[in-house]
Amino acid sequence: MNLLFAIDDNVVKQMLTTLYSVKMNTEGSFEIYVLQKDELKETERIQTFCKKYGMMYHPIIVDGTRFKDAPITDRYPATIYYRLLAQEYLPDLDRILYLDADILIINDLSKLYNLDLGDSLYAAASHSALSNNMTEPFNKVRLGNYEAESYYNSGVLLFNLPRIRQTISAEDIFKYIEENKLTLFLPDQDVLNGLYGHQIMKIPDELYNFDARMSALYFAIGDGQWDLDWVIDHTVVLHFCGRDKPWKSDYRGRYAGLYKHYMHKALM
C-alpha cells in the first residue's frame, strides 16, 4: 500500500500518529512517501518509526519555488500544493493514497485503497451534506466548474496516477492559481475542485472522511444511525478538520481521548 503525505517540521508527530493508526487497523506492507520542502529535522525519528513497524520511508524533496505565486498562509503552507503535482515527483506507481496528517485510521483501509477508479483521476469525499444548500452552487460559480458533482475535501485523495499523468498539467494549475488567487479560500483544495472536480469519483464521507467536528450533524442526517458506536464499527477515516486539533490541550471534541490514545502509543 502506497501512502502519501505532504508535511513540514510542525506536524511530524501527527503524521506518525496517522501511520500508527494505519498499521494497527490495516494488514499489509506500506511504502510511505513524504513530500517536503527541505529534509525534515526529524528524519531519523521517522526512519526509526518506519523500521519499527515494517514500513519503508521515502522522503521526496520538492522545489517549493514552483509555488512562489500561490496563496500561502500559516494555516495553508506551501506544502499543501505539493499534492497537486505529486505525480511529477513520485516513482512509476499506479496508485497512491494521500492523507492529511490530522487523520486517524480506525478501521481497515484496504477497501478504499483497492477501489476501482475507472477513468477518474481521484477518489475523494464531499462534506456537502453537512453544509447548507447554498454551498454547492456557490462553489461552482466561484471556481468556474459547473460539471463537478460536488465540492471535495482534499484531505483524503486516492490517486489514479496513470490517468493523472495523462491529464494534469503544471501550466494549467499555475494559470488557474494566477487567474483566481483572490477567490481561493482553501487554496489547493479550491484548485483541485476548480480544475478537476468533474473527474473525481465521490466516496462516502461517513466512511472515508468523517469530519470529527460534525458528529451531531452526522447523527441527524443519518437518522440516528451514525452515532459513536457506528463510527467506531464502520468509519475508516476520522478527520480532525478545522482549526481545533486533538493534540492541543484545550481540545474538547468527542474523539479527543481516542486521538490522544493513538498519539501516546505512536510516540512511545
Please give the average per-residue pLDDT across 30-36, as a whole number.
97
Q: Which position has the grid cell 499506479?
A: 94
pLDDT at 137: 57
Q: How far is CA 81 from the centre of its chain?
A: 12
| The architecture CATH gives domain 2-266 | Alpha-Beta Complex (3.90)
On the question of pLDDT at 146 being above 50, the answer is no
What is the distance between the alpha carbons of residues 261 and 254, in angstroms, rounded to a whole number?
Answer: 13
pLDDT single digits (tens) 160-206: 999 999 999 999 998 888 888 788 788 788 899 999 999 999 999 99
Cα atoms in the Cβ-side hemisphere of radius 13 Å centred on 150: 19
3-state secondary structure string across the chain: CEEEEECCHHHHHHHHHHHHHHHHHCCCCEEEEEEECCCCCCHHHHHHHHHHCCEEEEEEECCHHHHCCCCCCCCCCHHHHHHHHHHHHCCCCCEEEEECCCEEECCCCHHHHCCCCCCCCEEEEECHHHCCCCHHHHHHHHHCCCCCCCCEEEEEEEEEHHHHHHHCCHHHHHHHHHHHHHHCCCHHHHHHHHHHHHHEEEECHHHHCEEHHHHHHHHHHCCCCCCHHHHHHHCCEEECCCCCCCCCCCCCCCCHHHHHHHHHHHCC
pLDDT single digits (tens) 65-83: 888 777 777 767 777 788 9
Q: For 71-75, 121-125, 224-228, 260-264, which range has the lowest pLDDT when averaged over its residues? A: 71-75
pLDDT at 184: 79
pLDDT at 74: 73
Q: For 6-10, 107-111, 198-202, 222-226, which range has the lowest pLDDT when averaged over its residues? A: 222-226
Domain ranges of the chain: 2-266
pLDDT single digits (tens) 228-248: 999 999 999 999 999 999 999
Name the strands in the sheet holding 103-105, side by side, starting at the edge strand that comes first in the sequence. Answer: 103-105, 237-239, 210-211
Most confidently predicted of 55-59, 69-73, 79-83, 135-139: 55-59
Mean pLDDT score of the chain, rounded to an integer?
90
